[in-house]
């Protein structure tokens, strides 16, 4: 089976490459090699490689910057998806990564895959627009995997930011009224590969690690594990704050926990508790 991966340099893209199952012929392209906003380039490269499956891990993900760069965000997250759809043939399967930010956060229970989206930000709106392209044009053999709060050992993300600040600051203030689920990029990559291997699985899937917390809770667990594994030498106070105490250009959902039960059943796979997945990544950092 021949797989074309976009966004090869991203957190997920790197893990997809590292965890590729035996027998997969993987063509991994960075955004420098494949610019999704360039329709002609997408046509040429996709038709040259003729993949059986496209994993679209490329995206504009700068949530706050998107508020002032809406054109660029939609060019990548909506029109880039359309360019991929137009370049593939009727037999090519598309697996597209989306986000919890398509929801408004007004729910008090985990969002099922058929919940009605209502994004609050330009980023969320652009990602929803990309989803809609797929659903309208290749719904019978496309797969949308929504995820949330992605982090990994090897890229700039919340985990790395917190570890750095915990080594350089006397105290931290972290938002405690946004609830969601941290997700290890490695765990998501395993789910993506399982979806690749199950052609009968299509439509919308939800994948994060198990459980839920706040950014404050996530930060506290990062510090606990960082101290346990020797990445941090001293404990610093972490103070919970409200979203209103830390204003950002983009509005974020206050609650964006995703219901994953239908996905677990479809893939025959369960996610780790988020604390266990985080411990694995921090242990990797400590060993390196």
Summarize pLDDT for 134-181 with one digit per residue, the tens: 988 766 778 999 999 999 998 689 999 999 999 999 999 999 999 999
β-strands 179-180, 203-206 pairing: unpaired
Q: How far apart are CA 102 and CA 86, in angstroms?
A: 24
Distance in angstroms (rounded) separating the CA atoms of residues 215 and 66: 21
Q: What is the pLDDT of residue 288?
A: 86
Ordered by where they begin, the domains of the chain are 2-154+183-209+258-271 (3.40.50.720)
Q: 3-7, 72-76, 150-154, 277-281: lowest mean pLDDT where?
A: 150-154
Per the model's pLDDT, the better-predicted residue between 139 and 130 turns out to be 130
Percent of the chain scored above 90 by pLDDT? 93
The arithmetic mean of pLDDT across residues 66-77, rounded, is 96
**Contact call for residues 97 and 120 (beta carbons, < 8 A):** no
Q: At residue 21, does pLDDT exceed 70?
A: yes
Asked if 286 and 231 touch (Cβ cutoff 8 Å), the reply is: yes
Kindly provide the residue ranges of all beta strands, DSSP E only, lying in 101-180, ordered along the sequence.
142-147, 150-151, 172-175, 179-180
Tell me the C-alpha distance between 42 and 51, whole Å: 13
pLDDT the model gives residue 197: 95
pLDDT of residue 137: 76
Q: Please give the pLDDT value at position 213.
A: 98
pLDDT band for 200, please (50, 70, 90 cuts).
very high
Task: List the structure tokens of 53.
Answer: 């499956």
CA–CA distance, 213 with 200 (Å, rounded to integer): 33
Considering the chain, what is the average pLDDT of its residues? 95
Token output for 2: 């021949």
pLDDT band for 89, please (50, 70, 90 cuts): confident
pLDDT tens string 214-246: 999 999 999 999 999 999 999 999 999 999 998
Q: Is 2 helix (H, G, I), strand (E, B) or coil?
A: strand
Contacts of 167 by beta carbon, 8 Å cutoff, 6+ apart: 232, 233
User: What is the predicted pLDDT for the residue at 139?
Assistant: 66
Hey, which residues are catalytic here? 123
pLDDT confidence of residue 104: 96
Of 121-130, 189-198, 242-251, the poorest mean pLDDT is in 242-251
């Amino acid at each position: 089976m021949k797989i074309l991966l976009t966004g090869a340099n991203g957190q997920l893209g790197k893990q997809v490459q590292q965890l590729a199952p035996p027998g997969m012929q993987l063509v991994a392209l960075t955004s420098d090699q494949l610019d999704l906003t360039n329709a002609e380039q997408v046509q040429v490269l996709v038709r040259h490689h003729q993949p059986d499956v496209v994993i679209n891990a490329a995206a504009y993900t700068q949530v706050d910057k998107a508020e002032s760069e809406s054109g660029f965000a939609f060019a990548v997250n909506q029109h880039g998806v359309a360019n991929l759809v137009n370049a593939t043939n009727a037999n090519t399967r598309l697996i597209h990564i989306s986000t919890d930010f398509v929801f408004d956060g007004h729910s008090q229970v985990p969002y099922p895959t058929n919940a009605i989206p209502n994004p609050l930000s330009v980023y969320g709106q652009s990602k929803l627009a990309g989803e809609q392209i797929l659903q309208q044009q290749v719904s019978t053999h496309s797969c949308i995997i929504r995820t949330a709060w992605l982090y990994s050992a090897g890229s700039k993300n919340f985990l790395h930011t917190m570890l750095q600040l915990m080594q350089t600051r006397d105290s931290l203030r972290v938002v405690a009224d946004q609830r969601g689920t941290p997700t290890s990029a490695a765990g998501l990559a395993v789910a993506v590969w399982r979806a690749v291997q199950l052609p009968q699985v299509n439509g919308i899937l939800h994948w994060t690690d198990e459980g839920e917390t706040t950014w404050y809770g996530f930060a506290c667990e990062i510090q606990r594990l960082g101290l346990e594994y020797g990445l941090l030498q001293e404990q610093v106070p972490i103070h919970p704050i409200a979203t209103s105490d830390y204003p950002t250009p983009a509005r974020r959902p206050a609650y964006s926990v995703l219901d994953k039960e239908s996905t677990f059943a479809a893939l025959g796979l369960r996610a780790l508790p988020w604390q266990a997945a985080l411990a694995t990544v921090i242990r990797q950092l400590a060993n390196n």
